[in-house]
């Protein structure tokens, strides 16, 4: 018996519908169980999108059929593994980092489904939700030419445009030792996912990032940012501290090229390529890619800059170099 037919278009459309529903739920003025329902919908959106990607490349989304049993579609974890193993992540998307982000939300979903008390964890999960929506938009646009922004007004939706403004967030939880232990365990799991992504060379700006109202990255989170202190003597509060925003752009030009070349499928880029592309695209004035302290001599570069240089084709780079070499001087 052949595996059931699955429509790629239906999978992609349903994925978009799930993500839009998640944003709508999150932004309702009054909504109980908000974070849990939002995360469930977002994880479902990614599972459908990943399966659509596999089907688009004629890859199976079912496990091997067992006798006397129905076909079973693969889980989210297996979908993530198959997309990575078959190298199906778009060039501009850091698969390791996006996977860590999705798994962080899946962990939260699993705990919520199994009656885990997630009270007070909204501020912890928010940076992952915020970045996930932007990751999803980039992924669907690159993979299926579907733009999430066409169906939502970014400026009016907090999940799409704003973030908590407090440098330090205080979250009240139950003072019992059981709840404190569960919260700490969840934070440890998030930290482990972020450490694994960083060790694999992932761009942590794709894992969890806080954005200002202009959708400009003001910092990226590392596992060290998930500094949680739980003290019954302090009123049963959890404190999450966010570190220096200057961590958003951690790479020198040399480090930028090394990381980009590791991800590229074409020739290695040189410092001359970097100079020509910066000139052509005016990258040094783009805060998304470059940053320069007033007292520094050179710019430093973001994870988005790494992804951008890694995605450029050899033909484009060669054309820009030729244009740069023949430019008028003086």
240 and 311, same domain (yes or no):
no
180 and 285, same domain (yes or no):
no
**Distance from C-alpha of 83 to C-alpha of 95, rounded to nearest angstrom:** 9
Chosen domain end from 205, 226, 248: 248
53 and 176, same domain (yes or no):
yes
Domain presence at residue 24: yes
Give the domain range for residue 285.
253-325
For the cut 60, the answer to whether the pLDDT of residue 50 exceeds it is yes
**What mean pLDDT is reported for the chain?**
78
* 168-172: strand order across its sheet: 168-172, 237-241, 227-231
Residue 117 in contact with residue 180, Cβ under 8 Å? no
230 and 271, same domain (yes or no):
no
Instruction: Collect all residues with Cβ–Cβ distance below 8 Å to 218 and sequence separation of at least 6.
Output: 210, 211, 212, 245, 248
Domain presence at residue 19: yes
Largest CA distance in the chain: 78
- Residue 125 has φ and ψ, to the nearest 5°, of -80, -20
221 and 294, same domain (yes or no):
no
For the cut 80, the answer to whether the pLDDT of residue 313 exceeds it is yes
**Band (257; pLDDT cuts 50, 70, 90):** very high
Higher-confidence position of 169 and 250: 250
Domain presence at residue 330: no
pLDDT in tens, 136-150: 999 999 999 998 888
Chosen domain end from 248, 280, 305: 248
124 and 273, same domain (yes or no):
no
Chosen domain end from 194, 220, 248: 248
For the cut 90, the answer to whether the pLDDT of residue 108 exceeds it is no
181 and 230, same domain (yes or no):
yes
242 and 267, same domain (yes or no):
no
189 and 294, same domain (yes or no):
no
27 and 150, same domain (yes or no):
yes
Q: Structure pTM?
A: 0.63
For the cut 60, the answer to whether the pLDDT of residue 229 exceeds it is no
Q: Which segments within 147-221 are labelled E, that is strand?
A: 168-172, 209-211, 217-220
pLDDT of residue 215: 42
Q: What percent of the chain has pLDDT over 70?
A: 75
Q: What percent of the chain has pLDDT over 90?
A: 37
171 and 275, same domain (yes or no):
no
Overall domain count for the chain: 2
**Band (21; pLDDT cuts 50, 70, 90):** very high
For the cut 90, the answer to whether the pLDDT of residue 221 exceeds it is no
Out of 16-30, 49-63, 290-304, 311-325, least confident range? 290-304
């Amino acid at each position: 018996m052949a595996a059931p037919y699955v429509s790629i278009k239906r999978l992609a459309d349903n994925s978009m519908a799930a993500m839009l529903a998640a944003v709508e739920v999150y932004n309702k003025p009054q909504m109980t169980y908000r974070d849990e329902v939002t995360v469930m919908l977002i994880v479902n959106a990614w599972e459908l999108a990943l399966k659509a990607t596999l089907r688009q490349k004629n890859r199976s989304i079912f496990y091997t059929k067992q006798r006397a049993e129905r076909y079973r579609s693969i889980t989210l974890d297996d979908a993530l593994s198959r997309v990575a193993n078959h190298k199906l992540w778009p060039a501009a998307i850091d698969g390791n980092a996006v996977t860590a982000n999705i798994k962080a939300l899946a962990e939260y979903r699993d705990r919520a489904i199994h009656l885990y008390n997630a009270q007070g964890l909204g501020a912890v999960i928010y940076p992952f939700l915020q970045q996930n929506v932007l990751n999803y938009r980039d992924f669907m646009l690159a993979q299926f030419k579907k733009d999430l922004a066409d169906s939502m007004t970014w400026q009016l939706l907090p999940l799409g445009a704003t973030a908590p403004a407090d440098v330090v967030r205080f979250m009240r939880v139950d003072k019992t030792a059981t709840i404190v232990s569960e919260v700490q365990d969840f934070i440890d799991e998030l930290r482990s996912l972020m450490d694994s992504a960083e060790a694999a060379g992932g761009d942590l700006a794709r894992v969890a990032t806080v954005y200002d109202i202009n959708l400009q990255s003001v910092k990226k989170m590392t596992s060290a940012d998930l500094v949680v202190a739980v003290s019954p003597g302090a009123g049963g509060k959890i404190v999450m501290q966010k570190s220096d925003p200057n961590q958003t752009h951690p790479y020198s030009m040399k480090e930028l090229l090394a990381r980009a070349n590791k991800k590229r499928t074409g020739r290695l880029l040189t410092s001359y390529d970097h100079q020509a592309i910066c000139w052509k695209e005016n990258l040094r004035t783009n805060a998304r890619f470059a940053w320069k302290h007033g007292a520094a001599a050179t710019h430093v570069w973001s994870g988005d800059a790494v992804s951008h240089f890694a995605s450029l084709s050899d033909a484009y780079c060669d054309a820009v170099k030729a244009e740069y070499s023949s430019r008028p001087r003086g």
